[in-house]
Amino acid sequence: MLENIKAHSIIVEKVATLIARELQNNGNAISLERVTAGALMHDIGKTLCLNSSDDHAAKGRSICLDNDLHEIADIVGDHVRLRNYGPSSPIGDIEIVYYADKRVNHDVIVSLDERLAYLIERYGRNEEYICNRIRENFDLCRALEKRLFTELPFAPEDLNDLAPVDKPGTDSPGRTLFRLK
């Protein structure tokens, strides 16, 4: 995994863990361990897919399964697009990591609008179909954000102040790192 992707994943983990802890405190059945591991590993397939048209989320899911990380394979596989989420679906580990990833551009916490603009510029290639797919994905993410923050004691714009961000490349005490086969 490239250093910039590691730095991004560390910030995604900070955002996801903050949200997961609060939801857990409110009685939601959230696994902090799965959220932490899934967020740290969500882009595990990205480096391998940089020079191809391969789906890095699918590649990451496959890497997890190949390395007996079954508990987080679906989190990694769904971090780009939620496959099984609807307006009445419960919010779980997968949705938290998906949302956190959408709020982090490189290693900076940004708004959904800022992240959307970046993704359209970076991946849209001025093709209407691709840009529309990205926008549709963010419409789902906005709906998820609205649901998430009805259960949280802070607003989306507070994440920058609340998510403790270490310097990239440092590790937080107590974090379990996973070793691949």
Does residue 169 belong to any structural domain of this protein?
Answer: no
Spacing of C-alpha 40 from chain mean position: 9
Does residue 133 belong to any structural domain of this protein?
Answer: yes
- The secondary element (H helix, E strand) that includes residue 5 is helix 3-25
CATH code of the domain in which 129 resides: 1.10.3210
Note the pLDDT of residue 174: 38
Does residue 89 belong to any structural domain of this protein?
Answer: yes
Range(s) of the domain holding residue 49? 3-158
Does residue 166 belong to any structural domain of this protein?
Answer: no
Q: Sign (positive/negative) of CA torsion 159, 173, 60, 168?
A: positive
- The secondary element (H helix, E strand) that includes residue 108 is strand 108-109
Does residue 181 belong to any structural domain of this protein?
Answer: no
Q: What is the pLDDT along the chain (181 residues), one digit of tens a residue?
A: 999 999 999 999 999 999 999 999 999 999 999 999 999 999 999 999 998 989 999 999 999 999 999 999 999 999 999 988 888 888 999 999 999 999 999 999 999 999 999 999 999 999 999 999 999 999 999 999 999 999 999 999 999 999 867 554 444 443 334 434 3
Does residue 74 belong to any structural domain of this protein?
Answer: yes
Distance CA 111, CA 134 (A): 15
Does residue 67 belong to any structural domain of this protein?
Answer: yes
Burial class of residue 83, CB neighbours in 10 A (0-12, 13-18, 19+):
exposed
Note the pLDDT of residue 101: 98
Structural domain count, the chain? 1
Does residue 76 belong to any structural domain of this protein?
Answer: yes
